[in-house]
Amino acid sequence: MDKQLIKSVIVEKQQQISQVELLQRGEVFDKKSSYVLIGIRRAGKSYTLYQDILSKLSSGDAKVEDILYINFEDERIAPITGNELGLILDAYWELYDQKHPYIYLDEIQNIDGWEKFARRLTEEKRKVMITGSNAKMLSREIASTLGGSYVQRHIYPFSFKEYLDYHGVGFSRNWEFNPELRRSIVRHFTEYFIHGGFAESFDKVDKREWLTSLYQKILMGDIVERNKIRNPRILRLLARKLAESVMQPTTLKRLENIIKSTGDSISPTVLKDYLGYMEDAYLIISIPNLVSPITEQQTIMKRYFADNGILGLFFVGGETKLLENIVAVHLNRQYPSTPDEQRLFYYNKGVEVDFCVPEDNLAIQVSYSIDDSTTYEREVGGMAKFLKAYKQYRGMVVTWDTERQITEGGITIDVVPVWKWLLQ
């Protein structure tokens, strides 16, 4: 790797980042810690690095020369190997006398052996922030290599509250009772509901075109190329069937049969691998049944997409699917699961409950409307039966625009509009 090229990239980034204008997100970092930031492509991980850099510059904790930022998706840097990563520090030291720069390594997951370099940096007492778009960065093997020297943080696309902040919609006291502000919030929510929370898309004229391009990059780059998938057609078909099946538990066997019905074949092992790759790239969120045996929890799951903007690419309309998906995304943000701890479930045993959070004794049904008597009995009646069996839980029904409190057999259930629930 050419050291002169690395120098030019370092200086170029210092100049670019110092001129960036940002909307502050709520991420706060301990000055004494190093971090690994993970999440779906374009969720805002680089944005978060910029925010941390600008915070240091504005507070006087650092000068622009103290910043060492490398984006490993820069095609000029892409040829670098794990054994050459040390050249980055050598190049920096030939530019500046600062022995302990603040180090930012963006999208480093594509470099084999990056974790050994990352550990060496913290062993040398350097402050480092790393980003990556693959959950394997949090695998036990890599965590072991890093030696517990990094704090892990998940970065998500913008929440609805952040979306409103971006568009200058502020909140005053008792905002719920301000008709004009309430109308503005609902109007903005309709856009957020359809196009999602990827900040780069907010000001695009053709948001769907941008989202389609992002989806292709995730599918082909973060999944197909990274995992050397030979038949991407099967992966595309699988993604489409998962989108069509949002809201419904799907078994591995059913997915296998769907693929076979198109003339392709796939083994259960490969199918399971493909689903794992999609989870690793943060494209989908998988939720098991609370009351299923452990072995069955791994084979029958409800699967959602990481953002409504991506899910909406698969169909026109689909409001009921988008509604349940946006609730799943928000709950996953609040209760993120790890390979060692599942925090979010659905419930299916006699009655169905869309989401259960055992640690908070929270049960949530999602229904676009409960005005129809059949829908009311299924959603509200089902929730009431669940709450009679699990008295420690509190129940809620999230709808498009209905707000009221229901009492069924001595059990109270709150019904709340989705836009309001997302802001609570």
Domains detected in the chain: 3-154 (3.40.50.300), 160-195 (no CATH), 205-324 (1.10.10), 350-424 (no CATH)
**Mean per-residue pLDDT of the chain:** 93
The amino acid present at 397, given as its one-letter code, is V
Q: Global pTM?
A: 0.94
pLDDT digits (tens, 9 = 90+) for 82-108: 999 999 999 999 999 989 999 999 999
Q: What is the pLDDT of residue 136?
A: 78
**Other CB atoms within 10 Å distance of the CB of residue 272:** 16
> Residue 381 carries which DSSP code?
I
If pLDDT is split at 50, 70 and 90, which confidence band does 146 have?
A: confident
d(CA 37, CA 379): 38
Decide: 22 and 50 in contact? Cβ < 8 Å.
yes
Tell me what percent of the residues of the chain surpass a pLDDT of 90.
80
What is the three-class DSSP state of 27?
A: coil
d(CA 272, CA 54): 42
Helices of type H across 79-178: 86-95, 114-123, 140-146, 160-166
Q: What is the pLDDT of residue 101?
A: 96
> Residue 158 carries which DSSP code?
P
pLDDT digits (tens, 9 = 90+) for 255-267: 999 999 988 889 9
d(CA 162, CA 22): 13
pLDDT digits (tens, 9 = 90+) for 40-59: 999 999 999 999 999 999 99
Decide: 109 and 40 in contact? Cβ < 8 Å.
no
Instruction: Go through the chain and tell me how many residues it has.
Output: 424
d(CA 292, CA 286): 14
How large is the C-alpha radius of gyration of the chain?
23
Q: Which residues make Cβ contacts (< 8 Å) with residue 267, sequence separation at least 6?
A: none
Mean pLDDT of 284-309: 93
Decide: 393 and 361 in contact? Cβ < 8 Å.
yes
If pLDDT is split at 50, 70 and 90, which confidence band does 1 have?
A: confident
The amino acid present at 162, given as its one-letter code, is E
Can you state the angle between helices 319-334 and 179-195, rounded to 10 degrees? Answer: 100
d(CA 106, CA 131): 5
What backbone torsions phi and psi does residue 321 show, to the nearest 5 degrees? -70, -45
Decide: 34 and 150 in contact? Cβ < 8 Å.
yes
Backbone torsion region of residue 247, taken as left when φ is above 0, otherwise alpha when ψ lies between -120 and 50, otherwise beta = left
Decide: 320 and 304 in contact? Cβ < 8 Å.
no
Q: What is the pLDDT of residue 140?
A: 67
What is the three-class DSSP state of 123?
A: helix
Maximum separation of any 2 CA atoms in the chain, in Å: 75
pLDDT digits (tens, 9 = 90+) for 340-359: 789 999 999 999 999 999 99
Q: Which residues make Cβ contacts (< 8 Å) with residue 294, sequence separation at least 6?
A: none
The answer on pLDDT for 80 being more than 80 is yes
Mean pLDDT of 372-378: 94
On the 0-12 / 13-18 / 19+ scale of CB atoms within 10 A, 378 is middle
Decide: 244 and 301 in contact? Cβ < 8 Å.
no
